[in-house]
Amino acid sequence: MSHEVNAAGDLGIWAYRPDVPLRGAPDGQLADLTFSAKDLFGVAGWPLTGSTRASLPFVEESPVVRTLIDAGATLVGKTHLHEVALGVLGTNAFGGTRNPLDAERVAGGSSGGAAASVATREVNFALGTDTGGSVRVPAAFCGVVGFKPTYGTYSARGVLPLSLTCDHVGTLSNSTEVLARVHEVLTSEQASPMSWSGVRIGVWNVENWLTPDAANALRAFEARVLALGATSKPFDFPDVMGTYSPIVLSEAAEVHREALTTESPGFLPFTLGLLRAGQALTAQEVEAAHERRDRLGRQLTDVFGAFDVLLAPAVPSVAPRVGEEELTLSTETLPYRAAILRLTAPWSLLGVPTISWPLPGPNGLSLGVQIIAPRKADALVLGLALTLERLDLERAFPESRR
């Protein structure tokens, strides 16, 4: 299905799209750009549903949205998400978001509408949130770039939370250059193309967590950056889901505490089950998870003692078809949520900057690789991606070389 059909058709992208967008300042440095905001962001005068039928806490206006509009960017509308951001497939009370590359497949989540609004080129960039992979996963599935900065870099005030200690505000676009421009507006930090020559890369040793297509795509990407002068070695890092889940579910249950006082609060059954599980956790279980997170953080610091950046798969497979719940790998079959999150959750749990770079998959579908750097090295991951983008443009348009 073409992007033209998808843009006009019903992919379930838009939660709210007014007739008249919120126009940015005409003389601002982002005045040539349009954007969407995931329907967790508070926008003055606009509704906020979190893609759920349940009642939600009050959310104030997002300073990130306001800053972008003041800088000239025009806000087109708000995009659908996996219900209250608690999932990676895009399921919600309004039918979910379909993948622009194949409308029989999911866009991913939780920022699925954000990724699809960029992939269909209805906006230049999108605001999303990422608690365990919610920017990077739909970016990979939809074939766009997704950037999760260091924890706390973009203000999460004015955004309906899921997990106060894991939530990141992030951005998605077809263009890393656009993401770098947005980053500069939000942080005053400039990112410029950076050479891969001499970069020490750690490649996460998780091939048994991937389909053959995803493993081959990751190997091809590694070969590409080695040809640009980088060096690589494998590294090991544990599955963090036993640490991630208690933290996120307990904090999500606290966010939705008022709604959960009723017997039927209006969440979909799966969402409600996760929130009730979060409610049932003891203080001791949550405290133990935070202690494990501290140990994992020290372990990651040790890993970065040997490497400048890490590479990890962004997704274990191409996007599943709508209704598919499980992924079969060579050694196991498990729910997509578990198969996906174990690849992405470590880097949000530990707050390090990560970019999801799209990789070609079979049959016109998309996969992705994560480029991960130490905390505060946001300009490094953007700069390395900017170099890849420039090389791709030079390859596609040789006459553009100067």
DSSP string, 308-360: SEEEEES-SSSPPBTT--EEE-SS-EEEHHHHHHHHHHHHHHTT--EEEEEEE
Looking at the chain, the number of H-run helices and the number of E-run strands are 11, 15
Reported confidence tier of residue 7, pLDDT bands at 50, 70, 90: very low
Helix (H) or strand (E) holding 203: strand 200-204
DSSP alpha helix (H) spans, 188-233 = 212-227
Over residues 90-110, mean pLDDT: 97
Q: What is the pLDDT of residue 36?
A: 98
Residue 4 has pLDDT above 80, yes or no: no
pLDDT tens across 216-237, in order? 999 999 999 999 999 999 999 9
Q: How confident is the model at residue 8 (pLDDT cuts 50, 70, 90)?
A: very low
Is the pLDDT score of 10 beyond 80?
A: yes
- The pLDDT value given to residue 398: 80
Per domain, the residue ranges of the chain are 3-400
Structure letter (DSSP) for residue 24 = P
On whether the CB atoms of residues 203 and 235 are closer than 8 A, the answer is yes
> Domain 3-400 carries which CATH code?
3.90.1300.10
Tens digit of each residue's pLDDT (9 = 90 or more) over 279-296? 999 999 999 999 999 999
pTM comes to: 0.96
Give the closest residue to 109 by CA, choosing from 61, 56, 162.
162
Return mean pLDDT, the chain: 96
pLDDT band, very low/low/confident/very high, at 3 (cuts 50, 70, 90) = very low
Q: What average pLDDT does the segment 249-268 reach?
A: 97
Using one digit for the tens of pLDDT, what is the confidence trace for 361-394?
A: 999 999 999 999 999 999 999 999 999 999 999 9
CB-CB contact of 160 with 40 (8 Å) = yes
Contact 29, 181 (CB under 8 A): yes
Provide, rounded to the nearest whole percent, the portion of the chain with pLDDT above 70.
97
Strand partners, 310: 202, 372
pLDDT tens digit sequence for 295-316: 999 999 999 999 999 999 999 9
Q: How many CB atoms lie within 10 A of CB 400?
A: 9
The residue among 100 and 2 whose pLDDT is bigger is 100
**Amino acid at the residue 109:** G
